Amino acid sequence: MAISGVSGFGSNNEYQSWVDQAAADKKKLEESLGIDTSESSSTDKTSSTTDKKDTSSTGSSYTSSTSRSSSTSTFLLSYKHNLTSLESASEALRVGSRNNVFSKYETAMKDLQRANTDEDKAAAQAAVDKAKEDIVTAVKDFAKAYNNAVSFLENNSDRSSTVVRQLNSLKNALTTEDAMARIGLSYDKSGNLQVDEDKLKDTLDKNYNSVKDIMGGQFGMAERAATKASDILDHASVEKIAGVAEKQSKANSISDLDDFEIFSKFALGGAYNLTNYYAVGSMLNTLV
C-alpha cells in the first residue's frame, strides 16, 4: 500500500508527527534494553549543527540520536544470529538430538541390509548415498557457522572483556587437532576450520564410528560448541556484551531480544515499510 493510499495521510505535518512518535517509542525500547545514547546524541547533534544546515530540528535530533543505538542494536542482533546459527548447525550433528544426520545414515544402512530385490537394493543404496552426503553437508555447515561466530567475536572483541572471554571459550570448545585430522578437519593459516571432503567421505566408509564420535558424540565437537553457544545466549548480560552502561533492563540476556529482533527485521525495510505499518494501523483503528 502506498502512503498516499490512506486519505489525509502523506502531508509533511503528519509525517513529522509519525517521526516524533517513532522517536518516543525508540527511547522506550532503548531504556528497556539498557542502552545509553545521551553522550553520543549530544556529540552528534553538535556536529550536525556545525557541518550542515538544520532543515528540521526534530528530524535532525532523531537521526543523530540513533547513531550509537543503531550500532549497538545491530551488534546485538548479529551476535545472536551468529550464535543461534552455530547452535542449529550443531544440532544436526549431535547424536542426542532428534533427526540428527548420523541416525538417518544408520537407518538407511539398516534398510540396505534388509533389502532383498534389486529394485529395493538400488533404492536403499541411493538413500545411503544421500544420508552420507547429508553428513558431509552438516559438517561443512558446522564449520561455516563456527568460523562465522569466531570471526564475529574477533571483530568485536574491543567492545567488552566479556566478548573476549566468550571468544576464547568458543575457540577452546573443539577437540584436538590430531583428532580432527583423522576425519579430514584442520585449521588454515587464519585459524578457520576447514573440511577436506574427500578425507571425510573416505573416513565415513572406512571408520564411520570415528566421524560419529568426534563430530556428534557426547563429548564431540558439535556437543561442545552447542553447549558453549547456548550458555552464552542464556546467561550473558546484554550490558556486559555490548559494553554499555548497566541499567535495570528487561533484556537480561541475548535470548530476551526476540521481540526487538522481530521488529528490527521488519524495520530494515526503511521508512516506507514503517509508514505503511502506521497507515494500516490507522485504518484498523477506524474499524474497531
Domain layout of the chain by residue ranges: 79-235
**In 3D, which of 90, 56, 73, 117 has the Cα closest to residue 223?**
90
Phi, psi of 67, deg, nearest 5: -60, -50
Point out the residues of the chain with pLDDT beneath 50. 1-9, 39-68, 245-251, 259, 262, 272
In whole angstroms, give the CA distance from residue 37 to residue 244: 9
**Continuous segment of H or E residues that includes residue 287:** helix 271-287
CA dihedral 244, 247, 250, 254 (to 10 degrees): 30
Cross-strand bridge partners of residue 186 = 194
Residue 21's pLDDT is what?
A: 73
Residue 24's pLDDT is what?
A: 73
In whole angstroms, give the CA distance from residue 64 to residue 47: 9
Note whether 135 and 101 are within 8 A (CB).
Answer: yes
Cross-strand bridge partners of residue 254 = none
Helix (H, G, I), strand (E, B) or coil at 10: coil
Residue 73's pLDDT is what?
A: 78
**Digit-coded pLDDT (tens) for 130-147:** 999 999 999 999 999 999
Buried b (16+ CB within 10 A) or exposed e, 242-280: bebeeeebebebbbbbeebeeebeeeeeeeeebbbbbbe
In whole angstroms, give the CA distance from residue 220 to residue 270: 43
In whole angstroms, give the CA distance from residue 3 to residue 272: 8
